[in-house]
Structure 1
């Protein structure tokens, strides 16, 4: 698979994902084949699969960013910042940036409609949630300041943020003012992390304010 630092490979990957997404949103995920995506992008099927392991990842191509965000937040945190606090700050930053992964950015309605109509995409989202839990649990295990159950903590944190993000998306699609929603999103993220931290065995610290 091309390295992330390979500019040519990154451009090709982005172009394939963009074209595939247009086809999926227009015709439905299950109605478009990899061969059709390859033809529209002017590449071979082999090239498509050299950039994407699964067909689902052509539409959900931003999901790997979540792994990078979790890994970077934990590994590059300051010595006096524990893993959960570092993750909290990273998640809050997504909201401040109105990043698509926060539910505050991007053109969500056609994407959500396409996902809802495809059991394969729904299953991929569920599987990816488990992958994030595994990555986060590994990060907590490596954090000397954390002495709780890393698997349980990771599952609770992922579930808490998913709940906040899904509600943000729902309210956004309902037409709620984006500025008001961004404020609410930030408040709910803080409350979610506070609630999880209070419930995690071994997290004997006062919940941070940011």
Structure 2
């Protein structure tokens, strides 16, 4: 077979990527319907494959773990705070950027901030597996934020240097500052995420939840202002 003939039978990269995204969405939608109908823990990969009319291996190729099908925004979630810090405007501190980004997420009821339909929030709350996975994702998000803060404040490989004086000590102090700041910022976002979920389960409508968590966010971020107001200013 000639090169030209082979190329003619191979879809362009853009079409292949589109097809992959369509398949991924098909699997996620089929899984979500089953999770909501019969619960996450009771639903099997085989049932999801049958509902989507694909082979079981296709499901696991796209989603290695069952919880990935339910929490399909997890990549965006884990990287969200780090991206906010990396993309902050000139003269903007990490705290200011994160405060602004959360306000925008609340205004648009972004799923990454915890906004979801009540039945979906209930599905997560009722599943020990998904609840545990969410805790893991919060930890991963905090770690990604710590790395971004360390990078933006100039903390390098010297953080692990052996000497307790000079550049090694400075780097270690900078690394400690980045990790501490990330832990505090992460705690605020974890609290706000859980607050959104709790209010959703309580039956509050979107407008009430937005107003509540926006006020809670302003108060929580204000508590960090004295110590972190100017930290990691671009």
Equivalenced residue count is 198
Runs of 4+ in structure 1 off by over 6 angstroms are: none
Residue by residue, what CA displacement relative to the aligned partner does 1:21-65 show, whole Å, maximum 9, x if unpaired? 111111111211112211211222332223223111111112222
Would you say the 8 A contact 2:78–2:138 is kept in 1?
no
Partners in 1 of 2:146 and 2:58 — Cα distance?
Answer: 33
| 1:50 aligns with one of 34, 44, 61 | 61
Matches within 5 A, 1:25-104: 25-103=36-114
Residue by residue, what CA displacement relative to the aligned partner does 1:65-86 show, whole Å, maximum 9, x if unpaired? 2134224322222232233322
TM-score by length of 2: 0.74
TM-score by length of 1: 0.82
- Change in Cα spacing, 1:168 to 1:32, as seen in structure 2 (3 Å) is closer
Would you say the 8 A contact 1:141–1:150 is kept in 2?
yes
Q: Does 1:171 align with 2:199?
A: yes
How much does 1:127 deviate?
1.0
Greater Cα radius of gyration, structure 1 or 2:
2
Deviating more after overlay: 157-166 vs 170-179: 170-179
Partners in 2 of 1:166 and 1:176 — Cα distance?
Answer: 14
RMSD after superposition: 2.6
Gaps of 5+ in 1: none
How much does 1:117 deviate?
2.6
Show the counterpart of 1:118: 127
Show the counterpart of 1:187: 215
- Change in Cα spacing, 1:182 to 1:112, as seen in structure 2 (3 Å) is closer
Deviating more after overlay: 6-15 vs 17-26: 6-15
Gaps of 5+ in 2: 1-13, 156-173
Partners in 2 of 1:205 and 1:68 — Cα distance?
Answer: 22
Partners in 1 of 2:208 and 2:36 — Cα distance?
Answer: 28
Residue by residue, what CA displacement relative to the aligned partner does 1:126-160 show, whole Å, maximum 9, x if unpaired? 11111111101001101228956222221222221
- Change in Cα spacing, 1:179 to 1:32, as seen in structure 2 (3 Å) is closer
How much does 1:204 deviate?
5.7
Higher relative contact order (CA 8 A, sep 6+): 2
